[in-house]
Amino acid sequence: MNLRPIGIFDSGVGGLTVLRAIRARLPSESLVYLGDTARVPYGNKSPATIARYATEDSQFLLAQGVKMIVIACNTASALAAPILREKFPDTPILGMIGPGSRAAVAATRNTRIGVIATAATIGSGAYEQRLRDTFAAQHRSPAAISSVACPLFVPLAEEGETNSDIARLAAAKYLLPLRNSGIDTLVLGCTHYPLLRNVIAETMGPDVTLVDSAEAAASETAALLASQNLLAPPDTSPSDSFFVTDAAARFSTIAAAILGNPPASLELVSLGAA
Ligand code: DGL
């Protein structure tokens, strides 16, 4: 049993979809969320910059006394998870790539899997590699993986354009080639994409299973804490703290839309040279 909080970081507000999934799965756990809103987006930055930001985000969470780190940002997971595990070997660190890939391999029936994410995540090849490795470990034949970067989805989700004509146009541009490729499973490999789930589902059609990396990561967070005897006692009343590096008022407004309530405790902090 362990009462210390779970640390979650993201480049900004999108990781709240992961926090929301963890809150629903683990109601007794206290959560510390860091949104690096001064330096968002990470999805179009270089690997070296993303690794530096992710290191500073992790150092901040560790200074808050967290018992594990969840890298809610898929871009940081793709580019920096191995680096963070090497730098902070005493802390369990969970990224989005493993949970999303395992859930997708479990879901596919025709061995054709698609993944959509930011340009940096797709460029890293991390999902593609993990999906191939996970599939190969369970089957004899290789899986067919199709990856597409969807750079307009993040700004659309942040502007609340989640169910509009403009969102449908962007979805058609990015997703119709994927739909035509015959995939039966699509990984939502970015924090913001669960917010566009309706439009994505509508565009992909009813035969394609959407895998939400946030949901998959929440289940694996619970399993990891249980396996290391780090869960909080079941009757604990949790307390959540939120930290951002800029634009706290905007964060609070979007957080209220995602979580149902604005954060009760929100503090502005500085990291690195931000
Ligand atoms: N959090 C990022 C991700 O999941 C999306 C936003 C960004 O580009 O920073 O990849």
Q: Is residue 158 part of a domain?
A: yes
Q: Is residue 34 part of a domain?
A: yes
Cβ(262)–Cβ(255) under 8 Å? Answer: yes
> Can you give the pLDDT at residue 272?
78
> Can you give the pLDDT at residue 10?
97
What is the bridge-based pairing of β-strands 68-71 and 93-94? parallel
Hey, whose CA ends up nearest to atom 1 of ligand 1? 73
How far does the centroid of ligand 1 lie from the alpha carbon of residue 207, in Å? Answer: 27
DSSP label at residue 239 = -
How far does the centroid of ligand 1 lie from the alpha carbon of residue 233, in Å? Answer: 33
pLDDT tens per residue across span 156-212: 998 899 999 999 999 999 999 999 999 999 999 999 999 999 999 999 999 999 999
Ligand 1 atom nearest the C-alpha of 191 is 4
Ligand 1 atom nearest the C-alpha of 117 is 10
How far does the centroid of ligand 1 lie from the alpha carbon of residue 271, in Å? Answer: 18
**Sheet hosting strand 31-35, strand order edge to edge:** 93-94, 68-71, 6-10, 31-35, 241-244, 266-268
Ligand 1 atom nearest the C-alpha of 40 is 9
**Rounded to an integer, what distance in angstroms lies between the CA atom of residue 166 and that of residue 28?**
39
Domain harbouring 205, CATH code: 3.40.50.1860
**Rounded to an integer, what distance in angstroms lies between the CA atom of residue 122 and that of residue 33?**
25
How far does the centroid of ligand 1 lie from the alpha carbon of residue 151, in Å? Answer: 10
Q: Is 254 found in the same domain as 208? A: no
Q: Is residue 35 part of a domain?
A: yes
Of 48-57, 94-103, 108-117, 135-144, which range is least confident?
135-144
> Can you give the pLDDT at residue 158?
86
Residue-range definition of the domain harbouring residue 68: 6-95+215-268
Q: Is 207 found in the same domain as 124? A: yes
Q: Tell me how far the alpha carbon of residue 160 is from its chain's centroid.
A: 18
> Can you give the pLDDT at residue 217?
97
Banded model confidence at residue 141, pLDDT cuts 50, 70, 90: confident
What is residue 107's three-state secondary structure?
helix
| Nearest alpha-carbon partner for 91 in 68, 63, 70 | 68
**Rounded to an integer, what distance in angstroms lies between the CA atom of residue 191 and that of residue 212?**
9
Q: Is 249 found in the same domain as 159? A: no
Q: Is residue 251 part of a domain?
A: yes
**Rounded to an integer, what distance in angstroms lies between the CA atom of residue 223 and that of residue 227?**
6
Q: Is 105 found in the same domain as 52? A: no
* Residues that are catalytic: 73, 190
**Rounded to an integer, what distance in angstroms lies between the CA atom of residue 54 and that of residue 145?**
27
Banded model confidence at residue 142, pLDDT cuts 50, 70, 90: confident
Structural domain count, the chain: 2
> Can you give the pLDDT at residue 273?
58
Ligand 1 shell residues, CB under 6 Å: 10-12, 14, 40-43, 73-75, 118, 121, 154, 190-192
Choose which residue among 16, 19, 40, 213 to substitute to test ligand 1 binding: the one with the highest number of ligand atoms within 8 A of its C-beta. 40
The pLDDT mean for the chain works out to 96
**Rounded to an integer, what distance in angstroms lies between the CA atom of residue 217 and that of residue 94?**
8
> Can you give the pLDDT at residue 274?
47
